[in-house]
Amino acid sequence: MSSNSFLRLKEDIREKELVPGFNARLIHTDEVTIGHVRAQKGSVLPEHQHPHQQVTNVISGKLSMTVDGKTKICEAGDAVVIPGNTPHSAEALTDCYLIDVFHPVREDYK
């Protein structure tokens, strides 16, 4: 990542494949990790959990999210709050652009 405070996502941050079909450009601060995520239609993020609090913001597209056994279809303008250590999964029903915010920092994504 660039050492200055102003970043151009496509120029300064390499895209990382989280799972097949879910690719992210990740920004890490001292307190949070922010992921700009592209999810391809039909891609599945398998159920998992982690100690981090997470907020998924749907910027575009349609995403099916399951959090702690409850499923909702999310569209642009929706946000999903996922407490730490809570099982969750997702499926991209269309191509999606998401912004995920994690607290604390996702060291495993560095």
User: What is the average pLDDT across 82-103?
Assistant: 98
| pLDDT confidence bin for 37, thresholds 50/70/90 | very high
* Per-residue pLDDT band at 10 (split at 50, 70, 90): confident
Model confidence band, residue 102 (pLDDT cutoffs 50, 70, 90): very high
Residue 41: what pLDDT? 98
CA distance 45 to 20: 8
Structural contact between residues 33 and 47, judged by C-beta atoms closer than 8 angstroms: no
What are the start-end ranges of the E strands in the chain?
16-19, 22-28, 33-39, 44-48, 53-60, 62-67, 70-75, 79-82, 88-92, 96-103
d(CA 56, CA 34): 10
Average pLDDT of 85-90?
A: 98
The pLDDT > 70 percentage for the chain reads 96
How far is 68 from 85, CA to CA, in rounded Å? Answer: 10
Alpha carbons within 13 angstroms on the beta-carbon side of residue 57 total: 9
How far apart are the C-alpha atoms of 1 and 9, rounded to whole Å?
Answer: 9
What local confidence, expressed as pLDDT, does residue 4 receive?
61
What is the chain's mean pLDDT, rounded?
95
Confidence of residue 2 (pLDDT cuts 50, 70, 90): very low
